[in-house]
Amino acid sequence: MANVADTMPDPMTGEDGIPLKTKLRIAERRNRIKAALLVLPLFAFILVTFLVPIGQMLYRSVENNIIADNLPRTIELLSEWDGNNLPPEPVFETMVAELKIARETKEIGKIGKRLNYEMSGMLSLFKKSGRKVRKLETGPYKEALIKIDKDWGDPEVWATIKQVSDRITGSYYLAAVDLKRSPQGEIVAQPDYKQIYVSLFIKTLWISLLVTMTCILLGFPVSFLLSNLPMRTSNLLMILVLLPFWTSLLVRTTSWIALLQSEGMINDLLVTIGFIGDDERLKMMFNQTGTIIAMTHILLPFMILPLYSVMKTISPSYVRAARSLGANPFTAFWRIYFPQTLPGIGAGSILVFILSIGYYITPALVGGQDGQLISNLIAYHMQSSLNWGLAAALGSILLAGVLVLYMIYNKIVGIDNMKLG
């Protein structure tokens, strides 16, 4: 052996004279590139079709170009205005000119709508003025505009226009937490009748928490039973968990409507057995109760499956040891068995909680007025009120919450260990 070592050149090289260390490094780098190249197509696909849209939506929650684009000169003049009395005549003159242009380009409705988010009455002010400024050819424009609508004589109107002239705004986020900027520039609470979002966020969290707790309460005994039965029986019973899991969400929501509505089966049954009278049928649908029951049913498998896989790994000898050392059944369960199930409870809870704070379909169908969650309001602003900035801001807040929970989940369970079905 010594001979071989003597004949080897130092440092060790391959046949071609390149040191083995270098060759290894090259080979490793090539492997890393190969692995990255395999991931690249999907990464690019997700980037373009998913991450970019999400980023664009986040940007939309602070984007505010409509005023700056359409009333540029007015804003420039307004920036020199001190905000105390009415702005001087030139401001009115450029405003009239720019209103005429905005009417031509049909942007005037959008300007009015944007300003209306900050101060009610602005949309009708701009629409009305847009129609009438056409005939305005000569000054003085100040009197003429105030004659069209006396609101133009209100310094707050001008202060509001000045305030939303920035291209980046935090006002949608302020609105999403029931705050706004007063014309004087201070952050103040929205008027009482407009304060809905904070309480809705709290309600969403509360309902999600309730659903999570109910899932723990219902999921724990079932998982315990499943993990302690012989394989053959537990596999059969598992079907009862997996079938709902695989059944369409809308199917399950439909059947809850059939069961819970006031002419539904549960009420019929209760009336038939004489538990309640025909005129006192329980109202279990189109309110929070309906939302909670249906969501619990839909999310329960997400609690049972992780809990089951954790309980499956708990060795029965610990509890037996505790019993033989004199612990009563309850102590043995609570002090020995239960702590070992905590990772499963944690994983299941976070999963259920994440899914329920973003829930949309079930509350929209069975929630009625009372059972709506934050997602439903995002959809409302997306589709009906078309206040996309606010929808994006509400969505971003929700997204931030979910991502925090997801990181916690990743810390506890690790995404690699996520199991499906």
Interacting residues with another protein between 305 and 334 (CB under 8 A): 329
Q: Taking the complex as a whole, how short is the minimal distance between the CB of residue 413 and another protein, in angstroms?
A: 12
Q: Is the Cβ of residue 148 or residue 365 nearer to another protein in the bound state?
A: 365
In the complex with another protein, which residue's Cβ is closer, 161 or 354? 354
The smaller minimum CB distance to another protein, of residues 100 and 283, is found at 283
d(CA 155, CA 184): 10
DSSP 341-385: HHHHHHHHHHHHHHHHHT--HHHHHH-TTTT--HHHHHHHHHHTS
Rounded CA separation 377/175 (Å): 13
Minimum distance of another protein from residue 196's CB (angstroms): 17
Of 49 and 138, which has the nearer Cβ to another protein? Answer: 49
Write out the binding residues for another protein, residues 272-301 only, by CB under 8 A: 297, 300-301
Binding mask 209-248 for another protein (x = CB under 8 A): ---------x--xx--x--xx-x---x-x-xxxxxx-xxx
| C-alpha distances in Å from residue 70, one per residue of 349, 387, 410 | 49, 19, 47
Task: Assign 3-state DSSP to the chain and report helix, strand, coil percentages, each to 5.
Answer: 75, 0, 25
Task: Please say whether the beta carbons of 149 and 170 come within 8 A.
Answer: no
Q: For the segment 378-407, give every residue that binds another protein (CB under 8 A).
A: 378-379, 382-383, 388, 391-392, 395, 398-399, 402-403, 406
The Cα–Cα gap between 366 and 359 comes to 12
Where does this chain touch another protein (CB under 8 A) — which range of 1-9, 56-64, 65-73, 275-283? Answer: 56-64
**Among 6, 82, 192, 263, interactor with another protein by CB under 8 A:** 263
CA angle 66, 69, 74 (to 5 degrees): 105
Length of the chain, in residues:
421
| CB of 60 or CB of 73, closer to another protein | 60
For residues 194 and 387, is the Cβ–Cβ distance under 8 A? no
Of 291, 305, 328, nearest in space to 220 by CA: 305
Give 146 or 257: the residue with its C-beta nearer to another protein. Answer: 257
Smallest distance, Å, CB 327 to another protein? 14
User: Binders of another protein among 101-130, rule CB under 8 A?
Assistant: none
Helix/strand/coil (H/E/C) assignment for every residue in 74-140:
HHHHHCCCCCCCCCCHHHHHHHHHHHHHHHHCCCHHHHHHHHHHHCCCHHHHHHHHHHHHHHCCCCC
The binder of another protein chosen from 18, 20, 25, 32 (CB under 8 A): 32
In angstroms, the CA 145 to CA 125 distance is 11
Considering only residues 327 through 366, tell me which ones interact with another protein, judged by CB under 8 A: 329, 354, 357-361, 365
Nearer to another protein, 139 or 316 (CB): 316
Residue 317: φ, ψ to 5° = -65, -30
Q: How far is the CB of 18 from another protein (least distance, A)?
A: 20
Q: How far is the CB of 225 from another protein (least distance, A)?
A: 5
Helix (H), strand (E) at residue 272: helix 265-272
Please pick, from the candidates 12, 21, 43, 335, the single residue that binds another protein as defined by CB under 8 A.
43
What the block records as the tokens of 60 is 């939309």
Among residues 372, 373, 393, the alpha carbon closest in space to that of 382 is found at 393
Q: Which is nearer to another protein, 179 or 242 (CB)?
A: 242
> Binding another protein by CB under 8 A: which of 195, 268, 408, 412?
268
- Which span sits near another protein by CB under 8 A: 158-166, 174-182, 261-269, 283-291? 261-269
Nearer to another protein, 123 or 354 (CB): 354
